[in-house]
Amino acid sequence: MDNKAKGTDKVSCGVEKNLGSREGAVGGGVFTMTCYDKDGNLKWTAEESNLVVDVGLAAMVGIGLGATTKVTNWYIGLYGASATNSPNATDTMASHGAEGAGGWTEYQSYDEATRQACTFGAVDSSTSGTATISNSASQATFTISSVSASTVGGAFLVSDSTKGGSTGTLFSAADFQSPGDRSVIDGDTINVTYTFSLSAS
């Protein structure tokens, strides 16, 4: 996993010497996507590490340790193909890639009326020093409706369900790496799992 979100706490003290202790937390998310044709045959898979954007980091810290109102519902969206599809840390739902090279555009050619719910299960903390959460037990499913072949370039996690909407808190996004954008046609289905882990370092 390519960890993209980092947080560090420091504590230092001294009596006769300058002593210090440092403890950090490193977190990262991964989008895992599988595409099947109308007959249920596997067409392609993709697993990409995400970029947790600035507003996503602020939400995570504010909800976890501050007074920010908890987000109770998260949704997964897809975005389309472009040579400049590259999530940027300053991205928000109102402005995709304001500081980046062209940003990204949401892919909306699927039958479902809204972005698909990302229903997380219980936190898994069975491994000491690590906490993980995932929607693997209830994957987000998209049924492609584009009559002609089209392409999907990545996925994102947001707090608003409105397909094509520009509000809500954008948490993270992931762009397909090699071999790049994936082809889809009418009747294909894409299942998406999002897994986020936080570990002590």
* pLDDT tens for each residue of 41-69: 999 999 999 999 999 999 988 988 888 88
At 144-193, the pLDDT tens digits run 998 888 899 899 999 999 999 999 999 999 988 877 889 999 999 999 99
pLDDT band at 199 (very low <50, low <70, confident <90, very high): confident
Q: Is residue 4 part of a domain?
A: no
Specify the length of the chain in residues: 201
The domain in which residue 100 lies consists of 29-200
Q: Considering the domain boundaries, does residue 6 fall inside one?
A: no
pTM of the entire predicted model = 0.84
Residue 171 resides in a domain: yes
Q: Does any domain span residue 97? A: yes
What's 111's DSSP letter?
S
Band the pLDDT of 86: cuts 50, 70, 90: confident
- The C-alpha atoms of residue 79 and residue 155 are separated, in whole angstroms, by 6
In a domain, 46, yes or no: yes
Kindly compute the dihedral angle of the four CA atoms of residues 158, 56, 200, 31, in this order, to the nearest 10 degrees.
30
Domain count, the chain: 1
Burial 162-181 (b: 16+ CB within 10 A, else e): ebebeebbbbbbbbbeeeeb
With respect to residue 22, please indicate whether it lies within any of the assigned structural domains: no
CA 38/CA 68 separation, integer angstroms = 43
d(CA 74, CA 151): 24
